[in-house]
Amino acid sequence: MKISLLIFCLLLLFRGWLYRQLIHYRPIAARELIPIQDEAFLASIAEAAQDKPLDLPRLRDLAFSLTTRQLAFTFAPASAHPDTVLATGRANCVGYAALFNATAHELIRQRGMESKLEVIHLVGKLYLFGVDLHQLFRTPFFADHDYILLRDTRTGETTATDPSIGDYLWIREVRSE
């Protein structure tokens, strides 16, 4: 019993590292930004970011927190429009990434950092030990997966995040090519 508990605790503690070692994301396309129009959510973005420096980790963490606070994952058909997923509170990986993308862009815009920080909404494939996981499913729902790439244009530093996976596994950073 003690060994099982220890193993469980170690897996929980190192879940992010383990996930990044086992799973990697390969981009196949990018999606366009759909700006947020919801005034109440725009105000909450402004409030969350006020008087705080905005670097790459802070941008990721703020956009992640604002996004995941609003949404619950669904396997049912769902919108990819940020305002619609805000209204319904339900999204799949596309809606999560679209809201994260729009939120991060708004944070950057409000801070006047458009030339310093970049956000890219990517469509990709997930690989486990080099095997395309999407080939194992015959449903269009699992044809691909949406995630986000963040880049500091001054330093070249990049980080990838998957808001839908992160909401349930509490993993903020994933590995992308």
pLDDT recorded at residue 13? 75
- Along the 177 residues of the chain, how does pLDDT read in single tens digits? 788 777 777 767 777 788 788 889 999 999 999 999 999 999 999 998 777 788 999 999 999 999 999 999 998 889 999 999 999 999 999 999 999 999 999 999 999 999 999 999 999 999 988 888 777 677 665 778 899 999 999 999 999 999 998 888 888 899 898
Instruction: Set out the domains of the chain in order of their start, with CATH numbers.
Output: 23-169 (3.10.620.30)
Tokens of 75: 């396997």
* Residue 35 backbone dihedrals phi, psi, to 5 degrees: -65, 150
Give yes or no for a contact between 86 and 107, defined as CB atoms under 8 angstroms apart: no
Tokens of 63: 């956009």
pTM: 0.90
pLDDT recorded at residue 75? 86
